[in-house]
Amino acid sequence: MLDSISPIDGRYSKDVQDLKLFFTEESLIKYRIKVEIEYLIALCGVVHIKELQPLSSKKKTELRNLYQKFTTKDAKQVKKIEAKTNHDVKAVEYFLRDKLENSGNKKLLPWVHFSLTSEDINNLAYSLMWRDGLIHAYLPIAKKLLSKIKSFAKNHKDIALLSLTHGQPASPTTIGKEFAVFYNRLTRQLNNLKEHKLLGKFSGATGTWGAHVTAYPQVNWIKFSEKFIQSLNLESNLITTQIESHDSLVESYQILSRINNIFIDLCQDVWFYVSRGVFAQKRIDQEVGSSTMPHKINPINFENAEGNLNIANSLLIGFAKKLQISRLQRDLSNSTVLRNQGVALAHSLIALKNMLKGLNRLSVNKPAVLKELNDHWEILAEPIQTVLRKNGKLDAYEDLKNLTRGEKITQDDIAKFIKNLDIQKSDKDYLLNLTPQSYIGMSSKIVELI
């Protein structure tokens, strides 16, 4: 792999092996053949087409084997034909005609690609590739990562953590609660990704079924196309130009880009936690953190993930910007864009695998977390002034502001201030027992909501 231009096919090839089932040139040809064959089988079942007869189960299996048992040798044959036709879908048609003729199915030859335009095949093939890549390669890893985030949240729900808002010390939370936030956000978006339906069109050269109706006006081609697209587990788009508008595919890309943004947010937060000493990273023998500084254990998995997520989003946003636009009834500028959808998913998948590795290396540095909290007793200004308000103190906020804003406050300073307060004894006792570590509100219970 040393001669690969893209790191996806070189450095990271082992991380994206599963995607090769869906996004290589060979896979694209295979999906096109699947659409062509399933269409041919469906045509044979239309009663108004007297020239065709319904196929036996054996014959259907024989035809489906053309894509189910498709080989690299077959793909090379298609590419050899394409070198002459300079048209990739027409090469698939000629390949299938050769296969059918050689297998004694000469009567079916005129019906391969009958009344279709290339986009009828391509839009379905690309949507099937994207859907299957998500289901079989991306979502299983996303599920593992989500489970890891959830368990991390549950296991650390009671460990207090100094918050930083605007980069400044703020009211504490817990490590578990902060990870629960990410779990909650990701769960919603991943459910959107799983439930999202992709559209498909199958209506000829300009979306009118013109050729179909010319040949067989008595056939309800709208109903036929709708049923055929649904048989591929896609939803039909009946009102199109030559191309399917790609709106639903773009919607899926945009959901994935939102997921990637949430993961970027997680990567950056973990990076800062490691930098602050909140997390320690597992030491791995023989691993090197720096070429010159022997002591270092860098958060490289999260940095790598962040980089790959940004690359993925650059592509996904570019796809969304381009694919919804096509000059008049069709231009070819979307073709090369769609060929790269697997690249965006590959970078997303590499990122998820790196985050999984990174999370498995993390442990909480409890002494460092506690020290950080105890260095900032000023964060108790919030609960103290709130209790003072409860006791009718109108200038409570201002009093605490004068005491704490921009000042280094110790436990003794806080205790002295509280002891001089004229408030209910129960409230005073509560405040005297309050610490930065215990001031976590309902953080632990919030984690139980996930």
Residue 214 has pLDDT above 80, yes or no: yes
End-to-end CA, the chain = 43
Domain boundaries, the chain: 13-114, 119-151+169-370, 376-447
Q: State which fold the 119-151+169-370 domain adopts.
A: Fumarase C; Chain A, domain 2 (1.20.200)
pLDDT at residue 97 in the model: 97
Q: What is the pLDDT of residue 66?
A: 98
Residue 341: CB atoms within 10 A of its CB come to 24
pLDDT at 112 over 90: yes
pLDDT at 284: 78
Cβ atoms of 219 and 46 closer than 8 Å: yes
- CB 362: neighbour CB atoms within 10 A? 21
On the question of pLDDT at 255 being above 80, the answer is: yes
Q: Above 90 in pLDDT, residue 11?
A: yes
CA distances from 273 to 92, 175, 276, 279, 368 (A): 54, 10, 5, 6, 11
Query: How large is the average pLDDT for residues 428-440?
Result: 96
Rg (C-alpha) for the chain, rounded Å, is 31
The verdict on domain 13-114 having CATH code 3.90.340.10 is: no
DSSP E strands in 225-355: the ranges are 235-236, 279-281
- What pLDDT score does 110 carry? 97
> What confidence tier does 238 reach under pLDDT thresholds 50, 70, 90?
very high
What mean pLDDT do residues 243-254 have?
A: 97
Q: What is the mean pLDDT of residues 372-389?
A: 96
Cβ neighbours around 427 below 10 Å, total:
16
Average pLDDT over residues 206-229: 98
Distance CA 64, CA 87 (A): 23
Give the integer Cα–Cα distance in Å for 38 and 232.
9
Mean pLDDT to the nearest integer, 74-80: 98
Does residue 296 surpass a pLDDT of 80? no
- Residue 362 DSSP symbol: E
Checking if the pLDDT of 260 tops 90, the result is: yes
Q: Nearest-CA neighbor of 381 among 369, 367, 398, 359?
A: 398
CB contact set of 437 (below 8 Å; sequence gap of 6+): 160, 172, 370, 373, 374
Average pLDDT of the segment spanning 254-281 = 97
Nearest to 223 by CA among 34, 37, 47: 47
To the question of pTM greater than 0.85 for the whole model, the response is yes
Residue 290 has pLDDT above 80, yes or no: no
pLDDT value for 282: 85
Residue 435: its pLDDT value, please? 97
Q: Which fold has domain 376-447?
A: Ribonucleotide Reductase Protein R1; domain 1 (1.10.40)
| Catalytic residue list | 166, 290
Percent of the chain past pLDDT 70, that is, above it, reads 100
Q: Is 2 helix (H, G, I), strand (E, B) or coil?
A: coil
Q: What pLDDT is recorded for position 117?
A: 97
**Contact predicate 39/228, CB 8 Å:** yes
How many Cβ atoms sit within 10 Å of the Cβ of residue 52? 18
pLDDT at 285 over 90: no
Six token digits for residue 330:
């069709």
DSSP per-residue string spanning 145-213: HHHHHHHHHHHTTT-EEEEEETTEEEEEEEHHHHHHHHHHHHHHHHHHHHHPPPEE----TTSS-HHHH
DSSP state at residue 278 = S
Helix (H) or strand (E) holding 363: strand 362-364
Residue 78 confidence (pLDDT): 98
Of the candidates 129, 140, 106, 133, the one whose C-alpha atom is nearest the C-alpha of residue 29 is 129
pLDDT at 283 over 90: no
CA distance 91 to 98: 11
What six digits make up the tokens of 68? 């189910």
**Per-residue pLDDT at 22 exceeds 80:** yes
Cβ neighbourhood burial of 160 (10 Å; 0-12, 13-18, 19+): buried
